[in-house]
Chain A
Amino acid sequence: GAGVSQTPSNKVTEKGKYVELRCDPISGHTALYWYRQSLGQGPEFLIYFQGTGAADDSGLPNDRFFAVRPEGSVSTLKIQRTERGDSAVYLCASSPLGLHTDTQYFGPGTRLTVL
């Protein structure tokens, strides 16, 4: 079946602009996660959705970052007033139920570059 997909695969923007990154999880997965990964590091948790609600947004670095999942499937990560330090690969993952024993399935990522 189809895996997790993310669009765009690459996004180049200028400092101060607004960007939206999209994630399509595996059909039927109720849990959806956003991470970001800087070069040479492991992924860093941003936010977790269970269904339509954000069950844990403790990883969002500041109020410029926001994410939604209005119908419990597709999710959008929104970044306002982008800064050069936001440049990273943004990863989306989904899992069947969000249990700690579940496997998280990752998308290919969106590489964000802020000039």
Chain B
Amino acid sequence: GDSVTQMEGPVTLSEEAFLTINCTYTATGYPSLFWYVQYPGEGLQLLLKATKADDKGSNKGFEATYRKETTSFHLEKGSVQVSDSAVYFCALYMDSNYQLIWGAGTKLIIKP
């Protein structure tokens, strides 16, 4: 079945470091891909999305490119801040069913 695999956390970085959180997926069709973020004590909120191959989603300095050839949607940021500390979830949504399928989440800790 369809699935999402993302790198295990926690990921600990120093402020201003470069961030990559890997996400790969398995899908029988052509999903839309999403990154959601959950800040401490808050609900899930969309960070960025891409709905077709080669699209790049971007928001708040974060980027991810939908790579069909490698079935990946890796999250990147050039210079992280302490305020980026959160749990990041990669997810896919197929046009053949009606549910977001989620990775397990990656906890990111940024130290000043």
Q: Assess the A45–B100 pair: CB atoms within 8 A.
A: yes
Which of B44, B51, B91 contacts A101, CB < 8 Å? B51
Number of B residues near A (Cβ < 8 Å) is 26
Q: Assess the B99–A48 pair: CB atoms within 8 A.
A: yes
- Which of A20-28, A79-87, A105-113 binds B? A105-113
Interface residues of A in 60-83 (CB under 8 A from B): none
Which of A45, A91, A105, A106 contacts B99, CB < 8 Å? A45
A33 and B105 in contact (CB under 8 A), knowing A100-B94, A103-B49, A106-B45? no
Q: Assess the B45–A56 pair: CB atoms within 8 A.
A: no
A40 and B32 in contact (CB under 8 A), knowing A98-B98, A101-B51? no
Q: Which residue of B lies closest to A91 (CB)?
A: B44
Interface residues of B in 12-59 (CB under 8 A from A): 31-32, 34, 36, 42-46, 49, 51
Q: Assess the B98–A109 pair: CB atoms within 8 A.
A: no
Q: List 22 A-B contacts (CB under 8 A).
A: A35-B100, A42-B4, A42-B102, A42-B105, A43-B89, A44-B102, A45-B100, A48-B99, A56-B97, A93-B44, A98-B98, A100-B51, A100-B93, A100-B95, A101-B32, A101-B51, A103-B34, A105-B46, A106-B43, A106-B44, A108-B42, A108-B43
The interface of chain B, by Cβ under 8 A from chain A, is 4, 31-32, 34, 36, 42-46, 49, 51, 89, 91, 93-95, 97-105
